[in-house]
């Protein structure tokens, strides 16, 4: 969560949870300051492989 928040003002994580303690942990991430190494590590990981959704699955249902 802290890494996502450090990516810029135009990035807004929207975590889903139904537990108060998890909401509190997610909110606390805004106060963390990561080191340059901590910020670089996730960015250096290889891209995810494989498709997660088909093109048909990505279309919005008609109303």
Confidence (pLDDT) at 43: 83
Mean pLDDT of successive 10-residue segments in the chain (63 residues)? 88 86 89 92 84 77 74
Confidence (pLDDT) at 60: 75
Using CA atoms, how far residue 62 sits from 52, 57, 58, in Å, is 22, 12, 12
Confidence (pLDDT) at 1: 87
Domain map of the chain by residue range? 2-44
Q: Are 23 and 17 in contact (CB under 8 A)?
A: yes
pTM comes to 0.57
Q: What is the DSSP letter of 44?
A: T
């Amino acid at each position: 969560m802290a890494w996502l928040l450090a990516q810029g003002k135009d990035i807004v994580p929207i975590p889903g949870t139904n537990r108060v303690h998890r909401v509190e942990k997610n909110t606390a991430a805004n106060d963390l300051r990561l080191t340059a190494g901590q910020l670089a590590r996730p960015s250096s990981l290889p891209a995810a492989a494989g498709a997660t959704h088909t093109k048909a699955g990505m279309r919005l249902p008609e109303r």
